[in-house]
Amino acid sequence: MTNRERENLTLNFGKPDRGAVEETFYPWVLTKNRFVEEGFPSDIAQNAKDITNDIVGNKANQTEKYLAAAWGQGVMEYEQYLGFDSVRRIHFVLPFRRFEEKILEDTETYLIKQDIYGRQMMQKKGSEIETEYKSVIQNEEDWEKLKSYADRELETYYSDEAIEAAYGPLKEGHDRGEYSIRLNLEGFFWVPRELMGIEAHLYAFYDEPDLIHDINEYILQVYTTKVIKIVDLLQPDVVYLMEDLSGKNGPMISGENFDEFVGDYYKRLIPLLKEHGVNNVFVDTDGDFTIMIPHFLEAGVDGFLPMDVNAGMDIVKVREQFPRLKFIGGFNKLMIAEGKEAIDREFDRILPVIRGGGYIVGSDHQVAPSTSLKDYQYYIQKLKEVMKQAGRDVR
């Protein structure tokens, strides 16, 4: 059985020879650094980069500016070394979500610089803390200028030839099943929040609804014209949309606003992705979003990651409520740092969901720097054993 077949059987309530052994997210830099100090090969760790590392300040690597694929090789090799199944992560970046980092103002007391996302950030001299000084857009005029910029970037960087050059090399190995492909997109809550800032975004649902709709219409247009070409080329096994619309005390958006400003766009995007060969569409959101699950399901979402245990997301209870809901993640990352007995208890807790299928176990966010390499290796060893029971209770 190939890696790709195994992942799809695991997620789709089948009965694989064993469940897919995968991680939820690429590694945290501080965690990698600790692992290297404890004996992990530094060259392999160095190549497992954050999604933006390859383009920040690197003028020569603009192919990864928007059509990010090559960076995922290092992450996959890092995970392979640890014993995980092969997952090739790819990313598609919207044409107004990458900017040149530069200093805009330098005084005796502070710096103001433009970051990679186009925000103006202030840093007081003598401090490492940066705070947002000015959001990317503050009004409709800003958005119109940003759209014009995005249109020019689309023309320059998103040709059919560029898409083929970025993602085409992955097709052969994926078709052979050597690795599954996980495509990451930014969602319809996430992007306006990033452009406007959290508080301004939440007010805009009531004060500037047309602006949010126009932003999301633009995003949808890009996805249905450009992302769909990637989907036609590769048929990713999982597409996941980053949203982060919840905190520990619940969601930042009402069900009614979700349906209008997010869910309606899912309903236009997800069926198209499925028609063109995507197997599963997941949403990446932190916090406790339990009361929003029916709204997500109504919009066509198949499952969620990372299922943050410490924010109250208990996959055992959620699965009882929603029997066909799929998960990636759900393992309390803090238990890995506590050692063997804590790891064993956590596996015992989630075992009913593993046996019920539709679940790839992974940490409920990036593995924390408090985790030793030895404990993480034990977790992976135990994961391999437990995933032999994946899908065994599927009827």
Q: What is the mean pLDDT of residues 70-96?
A: 96
Q: What is the DSSP string of 248-316?
A: TTEESS-HHHHIIIIIHHHHHHHHHHHHTT--EEEEE--S--GGGHHHHHHTT--EEE---GGGT--HH
Q: What is the DSSP string of 358-381?
A: SEEEEESSSPPTT--HHHHHHHHH
Alpha-carbon span 301 to 325, nearest angstrom: 9
395 in a domain, yes or no?
no
Predicted local confidence at residue 180, as pLDDT: 98
394 in a domain, yes or no?
no
Q: At what angle do helices 373-386 and 71-82 cross, to 10 degrees?
A: 80
Residues 6+ apart with CB under 8 A from 337: 368, 370, 371, 372, 375
121 in a domain, yes or no?
yes
Instruction: Give me the number of domains the chain comprises.
Output: 2
Range of the domain at 210: 3-97+137-388
Query: Do both 25 and 74 map to the same domain?
Result: yes
Q: What is the mean pLDDT of residues 287-314?
A: 97
Query: Do both 277 and 143 map to the same domain?
Result: yes
Residues 383-395 have pLDDT tens digits of: 999 999 999 998 7
Bridge partners for 120 per DSSP = 114, 134
Predicted local confidence at residue 57, as pLDDT: 45
372 in a domain, yes or no?
yes
Q: Is the pLDDT of residue 258 over 80?
A: yes
Query: Do both 77 and 104 map to the same domain?
Result: no
Query: Do both 342 and 206 map to the same domain?
Result: yes
Q: Within 10 A of 160 (CB to CB), how many other CB atoms are there?
A: 10
pLDDT band at 123 (very low <50, low <70, confident <90, very high): very high
Predicted local confidence at residue 49, as pLDDT: 86
Query: Do both 181 and 171 map to the same domain?
Result: yes
Residues 187-241 have pLDDT tens digits of: 999 999 999 999 999 999 999 999 999 999 999 999 999 999 999 999 999 999 9
Query: Do both 227 and 297 map to the same domain?
Result: yes
Query: Do both 339 and 381 map to the same domain?
Result: yes
Q: What is the mean pLDDT of residues 38-43?
A: 97
Question: Which phi and psi angles does 80 have, rounded to 5°?
Answer: -60, -40
80 in a domain, yes or no?
yes
pLDDT band at 64 (very low <50, low <70, confident <90, very high): confident
Query: Do both 187 and 317 map to the same domain?
Result: yes
Q: What is the mean pLDDT of residues 42-60?
A: 72
